[in-house]
Amino acid sequence: MTTDDTPPPAGNLPGDRPSPTPDPLHQNRLDMEAQSLQYPLPAGVRHEAITIGQVSCEWAIPDDADPDTCIVYAHGGAFCVGSVISHRPLVSHIAKACGCAVIAVDYRLAPEHKFPAAADDVFTVYRAMLDTYRHIIPMGDSAGGSLAAGIPLQAREHGLPMPAGLVMLSPWLDLSCSARSFETNAASDPFMKRDGAIFVVRGYLKKADPCQPLASPVFADLHDFPPTLLQVSAQEVLLDDSTRFAERAEAAGVAVQLSVWQGVHHVWHFLSDTQPQAREAIAEIGRFVRSLTPPATTV
Residues marked as catalytic: 142, 236, 266
Of residues 96, 177, 102, 142, the one with CA closest to residue 267: 142
Given a contact cutoff of 8 angstroms between Cβ atoms, the answer to whether 9 and 18 are in contact is: no
* Helix or strand (DSSP H, E) at 269: none
Peptide bond into 116 cis (omega under 30): yes
What residues pair up with 105 in beta bridges, in sequence order? 57, 74
Q: Is 184 helix (H, G, I), strand (E, B) or coil?
A: helix
- 228-233 β-sheet, strand order: 45-52, 55-62, 101-105, 69-74, 135-141, 166-169, 228-233, 256-261
Angle at 234 between CA 153 and CA 224, to 5 degrees: 20
H-helix or E-strand containing 297? none
> Do residues 67 and 100 lie in contact, with contact meaning Cβ atoms separated by under 8 Å?
no
Instruction: Kindly give the interhelix angle for 117-129 and 143-158, rounded to the nearest 10 degrees.
Output: 60
Dist CA 167 CA 27 (whole Å): 30
CB-CB contact of 52 with 91 (8 Å): no
